[in-house]
Structure 1
């Protein structure tokens, strides 16, 4: 009667389409291995929970605070948190590399923009006098 089930036909069609796309079995296996490695890039040494490669130190620190007993050293869970400062999660207060110590200067704000805005507001608030009087 038939020459195979729908499952067999679908599998054959899938293999044909993959050959057309140009991806070999080795390429697919390599891509799968890379995605697995990225998914488990960071692992908590205490509870073995994994984090993706794009996890930042504040997220890892939050895990230590939320999941482990108080007083747990963050570096004991994640070696990447050795120099992490929870009061400065973005690392802005850290002295620049190269030994140039000293305080980091804050960025200058653009005051011209604020002055122009104030001038426009002052010009618009000059008074509520009407040009034409009532008759």
Structure 2
């Protein structure tokens, strides 16, 4: 009888541990998109996307939010994995890239994650440099 209880307890513990690690793996790795491999939904200059968000944030969120876009403009700030275009588009790079230089005209592909009213910036993540 005691052997049967230990066997059942062992099976329950193994199932619980497997479930825990499966859920943990899904939370950490599931749902991540590879923006670099997705097609560009919109190609816009930085001034246009900022103007759209400034004039009507609700409509712009419906149009751009969570979509891969290519934004073009002049690099105004570079800091490790962050590039700011025309002082109005904040791009968080997937990995540090030393090819960005202040004053350089670039097109960056990334996912729109929102608009910061306080700073007046459109925020992009998972950004990569596009060929012009």
TM-score scaled by structure 2? 0.26
Quick check: which one's helix share is greater?
Answer: 1
Structure with greater contact order relative to length (CA < 8 Å, sep ≥ 6): 2
**Larger Rg computed on CA atoms:** 1
Quick check: which one's strand share is greater?
Answer: 2
